[in-house]
Amino acid sequence: MGKKKSAVYSVEVNGIKDIETVDEGDGKEKYRGLKNHSGHKKDHQKEELKKELDLDDHKLNTTELEDKYGTNIIRGLTSTRAAEILAQDGPNALSPPKETSEIIKFLKQMVGGFSILLWAGAVLCWIAYGIQFAQDNSVSMDNVYLGVVLALVVIFTGIFAYYQEAKSTNIIASFSKMIPRQALVIRDGEKKEIPAEQLVVGDIVEIKGGDQIPADIRILASHGCKVDNSSLTGESEPQSRSCDFTHENPLETKNIGFYSTTCLEGTATGMVINTGNRTIIGRIASLASGVGNEKTPIAIEIEHFVHIVAGVAVSIGVIFFIIAVSMKYPVLESVIFLIGIIVANVPEGLLAAVTVSLSLTAKRMAKKNCLVKNLEAVETLGSTSIICSDKTGTLTQNRMTVAHLWFDNQVYQADTSEDQKAQIFDQSSATWASLSKIVTLCNRAEFSPGQENVPIMKKIVVGDASETALLKFSEVIMGDVMERRNRNRKVAEIPFNSTNKFQLSIHETDDPNDKRFLLVMKGAPERILEKCSTIMINGQEQPLDESTAEAFQTAYMELGGLGERVLGFCHLYLPEDEFPDTYPFDAETMNFPTSGLCFVGLLSLIDPPRSTVPDAVTKCRSAGIKVIMVTGDHPITAKAIAKSVGIISANSETVEEMANRLNIPVEQVNKREAKAAVVSGMELKEMSTEQLDEILINHTEIVFARTSPQQKLIIVEGCQRQDAVVAVTGDGVNDSPALKKADIGIAMGIAGSDAAKMQQTWSLLDDNFASIVTGVEEGRLIFDNLKKTIAFTLTKNIAELCPFLIFIIAGIPLPIGTVTILFVDLGTDVIPSIALAYEKAETDIMNRKPRHKKRDRLVNQQLALYSYLHIGILQSLGAFLAYFTVYAEQGFKPAQLIFLRSEWEDDSINDLEDSYGQEWTRYQRKNLEWTGYTAFFVAIMVQQIADLIIRKTRRNSIFQQGLFRNKVIWVGIASQIIIALILSYGFGSITVLSFTTLRVQYWFVAVPYAIVIWVYDEFRKLFIRRYPGSWWDKNMYY
């Protein structure tokens, strides 16, 4: 553990990062990570990586390079040669990930999941017609129509889903669109701007601050060039580039600049050594696309559901085929029954409802800054059980902020919230006056001009992170820093450098009576303290003795222990006699004292957590989601942030802390008692798979610090071994394999690189962890609501199936026709089933465990049984009551109906006697049959209203949920009634649709059953709430 050593952490103001010191082997690690996880994927990728290791251009000197690439450093390539190479190597651009062609995407929509079932239904219908037609060519076309309708349903929902999909993909696409970049290249001895795509190996390019490096280049000359390699390595500290070969590893050496990284400052000239897909970034990107694409959980669930429905349909069909055959029905007729049963079981409208629900949620999420690449991924976040979050930007605000102050022997806390309105520490002390002066003056950062109306926190600042923090801090507290600086004119200055580790400036004072110069200094606290002989307490200078030095040490350790970057501040009024007005201060020779100063105070800086994050983490925890922090940052900082956002909760300890508290060696601590764990990349590297698994299982609160980005992949895989659904946030290209591997890759919107965005399923536009929690909630909600939608839709399948079965067994006139069934499935039931997508969450949505992806199915046994065998049967009974009522009141009493079928359907009997002795022609009977259909249809509709209302909740009472909170449900109910009214009264005379004008009272026959359904379900929910875990709960909760 390098912890002790680094407890006093991070002092550099202009911090040239301590990355090299911490992770010498980082580069190697990166390769290891890549190799391990690609090696078994594809051989050629392994080859590619080997080639990557072979890269030795950084070792060559310029002449060798010129030879190798056949170029001239001064004159560059000739245009003709360049064109040749371009033709040979292709353009310098990453080939986009293999896009599935639009046609394939469209066809996928046509044959995926449900569609198969519907196609099968349609084909069966046509086969049935074919069979019938072969027997008797005057047979009705009903089956053909049904088949056509089924086919149309698939095609339309397919088009719809494709359209939705395309729409959300386009949103993403628009983000990743890049403006064509230009590169300054020397060719034929002339500098020209050409599109970066036309760069070829051997080109000499010039880059300057702000440019994106257009290809992998070997630096030939550099002037203070610094690059941001964060998109490659995840480290955000700028790294200097020069022409010196500093490291064996091409990733570590300073003389290579990488494609797509940004040059922050300075200029450089380099030779292109790799272009397009052969660049390091290109290789990582292609590696990522090699990681297998996984099916989304919801796709798996829907597949499972289709299996269930198909299973039920086929088995009922076969059973009744056997029954029909044994009842001496002709085999061909039995086959048609079989097909009819299968078709009756297909929920035609569900496909559309699911698609609409998903896209509604996607839209809702987009409003909350979450973009979904694939509609099905909407749900995935809901089943997340582990979130691997990075720290910077996601959990934190991604900007340095003053967190604590120490002066007058006391630690004060500063407001680190996003707007910093409430700075409540004691500002009356004279020490503060001095400190604030130093903070203001000893600072080179400045606001960019022209931002008068921008809130301070949002103003753009020229300067590094720490100085920016200090500038904004003093601007907030004292206002108009620039003016104060003007009043205290700067006469000399020594900027920060890593040898001095301090920054110093000398100012005139704004007090006209005071002709002394003020020397202000800030820097690493221990360095500053060395230079001080006095300390200011309550405005008074006091000699720096043992006890004050100790107090300083304690404060320094305390703040450092919080993972904060601590800065010391001191000043000195230069005596007027020695340093008169005209004294020529010289920063080079330092012709002024730099010791014996007066120590004023400490300020500590941190990238503070976003204020919404702790709440979000708590929510995750209560939702049973493990939040793991994976960061490249230092363990102490990581831990401090983890503690402050609650990833490590206040009362839990790491193994080391327990050992400390109990005063026993680390080995003796029972590891299971420690809830928290902080694991560094170094430790992770040494770990075996089993050890990693052990950590992931035993600790609930884990922080991985100093991890190389490629270790993320190892962590993700570790989590997935625990059967967890893992969400990973990431932005850099380096993250893309992990993002791809994860069940849900969450690309952070603003900072995310394009390569990362290609791999993700999700985009957060605001980089905010809290948005993930919103996503989780929405994902769970859609899962619940899909459950409700499916339960609602499945229920009436029984009411549509039973008539057919009874028709076969008891030979009654057919209670409901296939066309009428279609009007339920695709008419009255469509809007209500979509309306359930608008249903608000039940109270427990964020208080239960994430669903187990193998055990908690979308459609489980309970849902199927309850829908089919409880509510479905109730509905059938209600509908049959309506059917019998119609027939009995028109003359056919129930007893008469049994086994009437063959006479009823006989066209040559036109004087069929009813229970009253009246005689009916075939057409009159048919009309009555249609009235029966209509009554049956209306009865189903009425009971589906009850079904819709009960499906609003699965556990809570309807009255807890509120009948009227979801207005769309009422739109749905209205639509059901209106469609039924139109069908019955508007189309009563159109015989094709087989609807008749129904007597008013028949609309109400099924109402008592609707009430029974509601009451029964209320009792079900009541017992579930009252007796959790009971037999009832286990069998009745779906």
Partner 1 sequence: MAALQEKKTCSQRMEEFRHYCWNPDTGQLLGRTLSKWVWISLYYVAFYVVMTGLFALAIYTLMWTIDPYTPDYQDQLKSPGVTLRPDVYGERGLQIIYNVSQNSSWKDLTQTLHTFLSAYSPAAQEENKNCSSGQYFIQKEFLAANHTKYSCKFTADMLQNCSGLTDPNFGFEEGKPCFIIKMNRIVNFFPSNNHTAPRVNCTFLEEHHKDFKPLEVDYYPSNGTFSLHYFPYYGKKAQPHYSNPLVAAKFLNIPKNKEVIIVCKIIAENVSFDNPHDPYEGKVEFKLEIQK
Cα separation, 399 vs 236, whole angstroms: 12
The one segment of 220-228, 437-445, 775-783, 908-916 that binds partner 1 by CB under 8 A:
908-916
Q: Residues 22, 508: contact at Cβ < 8 Å?
A: no
| Token output for 1030 | 């009971």
C-alpha dihedral sign at 638, 643, 644, 645? positive
Report the residue from 538, 919, 962, 965 that binds partner 1 according to the rule CB under 8 A: 919
Cα separation, 219 vs 257, whole angstroms: 7
Q: How far is the CB of 640 from partner 1 (least distance, A)?
A: 33
Q: How far is the CB of 795 from partner 1 (least distance, A)?
A: 15
Q: How far is the CB of 318 from partner 1 (least distance, A)?
A: 18
How far does Cα 644 stand from its chain's mean position?
23
Report the residue from 582, 907, 959, 1000 that binds partner 1 according to the rule CB under 8 A: 907
The one segment of 272-280, 432-440, 891-899, 947-955 that binds partner 1 by CB under 8 A:
891-899
Give the footprint of partner 1 on residues 990-1019 (CB under 8 A).
991, 999, 1008, 1012
H or E stretch including 754? Answer: helix 754-759
Report the residue from 853, 856, 988, 1023 that binds partner 1 according to the rule CB under 8 A: 853
Report the residue from 156, 163, 899, 923 that binds partner 1 according to the rule CB under 8 A: 923
Residue 477 backbone dihedrals phi, psi, to 5 degrees: -80, -40
For residues 727 and 834, which CB has a smaller minimum distance to partner 1 in the complex?
A: 727
H or E stretch including 920? Answer: strand 919-920
Q: How far is the CB of 783 from partner 1 (least distance, A)?
A: 16
Cα separation, 710 vs 32, whole angstroms: 8
Q: Using the rule CB under 8 A, is 723 a contact of partner 1?
A: yes
Helices 43-54 and 26-39, interaxial angle, to 10°?
A: 160
Q: Using the rule CB under 8 A, is 854 a contact of partner 1?
A: yes
| Token output for 122 | 């349609």
Task: Draw the binding track, 267-306, toward partner 1 (x: CB under 8 A; -: no contact).
Answer: -------------------------x-xx-x--x------
Q: Residues 345, 313: contact at Cβ < 8 Å?
A: yes
Q: Using the rule CB under 8 A, is 931 a contact of partner 1?
A: yes
Give the footprint of partner 1 on residues 108-137 (CB under 8 A).
none
Q: How far is the CB of 838 from partner 1 (least distance, A)?
A: 30
Q: Using the rule CB under 8 A, is 691 a contact of partner 1?
A: no
For residues 126 and 868, which CB has a smaller minimum distance to partner 1 in the complex?
A: 868
Q: Position 85: which residue type?
A: I
Task: Draw the binding track, 62-91, toward partner 1 (x: CB under 8 A; -: no contact).
Answer: ------------------------------
Question: Torsion over CA of 247, 252, 258 and 262, rounded to 10 degrees?
Answer: -120
The two beta strands, 370-372 and 239-241, are unpaired
Helices (H), 599-654: 613-622, 635-645
Q: Using the rule CB under 8 A, is 885 a contact of partner 1?
A: yes
For residues 180 and 292, which CB has a smaller minimum distance to partner 1 in the complex?
A: 292
| Token output for 689 | 């798979």
Angle at 86 between CA 80 and CA 89, to 5 degrees: 140
CA distances from 147 to 152, 346, 641, 813, 991 (A): 9, 12, 61, 23, 19
**How many other CB atoms sit within 10 Å of the CB of residue 264?**
17
Q: Using the rule CB under 8 A, is 922 a contact of partner 1?
A: yes
The two beta strands, 410-413 and 401-407, are antiparallel
For residues 719 and 824, which CB has a smaller minimum distance to partner 1 in the complex?
A: 719
Q: Position 477: which residue type?
A: I
For residues 11 and 886, which CB has a smaller minimum distance to partner 1 in the complex?
A: 886
DSSP symbol at 827: I
- Catalytic residues, which ones? 390
DSSP 514-576: ---EEEEEEE-HHHHHHTEEEEEETTEEEE--HHHHHHHHHHHHHHHHTTPEEEEEEEEEEPT
Q: How far is the CB of 899 from partner 1 (least distance, A)?
A: 18
Q: How far is the CB of 743 from partner 1 (least distance, A)?
A: 5
How far does Cα 66 stand from its chain's mean position?
47
End-to-end Cα spacing for the chain: 49
Give the footprint of partner 1 on residues 181-240 (CB under 8 A).
none
| Token output for 191 | 């500098």
For residues 309 and 897, which CB has a smaller minimum distance to partner 1 in the complex?
A: 897
DSSP 31-56: HHHHHHHHHTT-HHHHHHHHHHHH--
For residues 750 and 992, which CB has a smaller minimum distance to partner 1 in the complex?
A: 992
CA distances from 97 to 100, 175, 777 (A): 9, 16, 31
For residues 271 and 386, which CB has a smaller minimum distance to partner 1 in the complex?
A: 386
Q: Using the rule CB under 8 A, is 888 a contact of partner 1?
A: yes
Q: Using the rule CB under 8 A, is 927 a contact of partner 1?
A: yes
CA distances from 350 to 354, 458, 788 (A): 6, 48, 12
Report the residue from 100, 910, 960, 1030 that binds partner 1 according to the rule CB under 8 A: 910
The two beta strands, 919-920 and 912-913, are antiparallel
The one segment of 323-331, 362-370, 622-630, 910-918 that binds partner 1 by CB under 8 A:
910-918
For residues 190 and 919, which CB has a smaller minimum distance to partner 1 in the complex?
A: 919
The one segment of 443-451, 577-585, 758-766, 919-927 that binds partner 1 by CB under 8 A:
919-927
Report the residue from 592, 880, 933, 1037 that binds partner 1 according to the rule CB under 8 A: 880
The one segment of 471-479, 599-607, 690-698, 907-915 that binds partner 1 by CB under 8 A:
907-915
The one segment of 204-212, 369-377, 915-923, 975-983 that binds partner 1 by CB under 8 A:
915-923
Q: Which residue has the tokens 């100093």?
A: 706
Burial class (CB in 10 A: 0-12, 13-18, 19+), 53: exposed
Secondary structure E strands in 688-804: 701-705, 726-730, 744-748, 762-764
Q: How far is the CB of 799 from partner 1 (least distance, A)?
A: 14
The one segment of 566-574, 625-633, 755-763, 878-886 that binds partner 1 by CB under 8 A:
878-886
Q: How far is the CB of 440 from partner 1 (least distance, A)?
A: 54
Q: Using the rule CB under 8 A, is 720 a contact of partner 1?
A: yes
Q: Using the rule CB under 8 A, is 914 a contact of partner 1?
A: yes
Q: How far is the CB of 368 from partner 1 (least distance, A)?
A: 25
For residues 177 and 854, which CB has a smaller minimum distance to partner 1 in the complex?
A: 854
Q: Using the rule CB under 8 A, is 1031 a contact of partner 1?
A: yes
Closest CA to 142 of 153, 154, 128: 128
**How many other CB atoms sit within 10 Å of the CB of residue 667?**
8
Closest CA to 21 of 498, 510, 444: 498
Q: Using the rule CB under 8 A, is 869 a contact of partner 1?
A: yes
The one segment of 164-172, 177-185, 567-575, 927-935 that binds partner 1 by CB under 8 A:
927-935
The one segment of 384-392, 704-712, 843-851, 883-891 that binds partner 1 by CB under 8 A:
883-891
- Total of chain residues touching partner 1, rule CB under 8 A: 55
**How many other CB atoms sit within 10 Å of the CB of residue 646?**
19
Cα separation, 317 vs 310, whole angstroms: 10
For residues 448 and 1030, which CB has a smaller minimum distance to partner 1 in the complex?
A: 1030
Give the footprint of partner 1 on residues 544-583 (CB under 8 A).
none
For residues 310 and 881, which CB has a smaller minimum distance to partner 1 in the complex?
A: 881
- 188 by DSSP, 3-state: which? coil
Q: Using the rule CB under 8 A, is 889 a contact of partner 1?
A: yes
Positions in the binding site for partner 1 (CB under 8 A): 138, 292, 294-295, 297, 300, 717, 720, 723, 725, 743, 853-854, 861, 869-870, 873-874, 877, 880-881, 884-885, 888-891, 893-894, 907-908, 910-911, 913-925, 927-928, 931, 991, 999, 1008, 1012, 1031, 1035
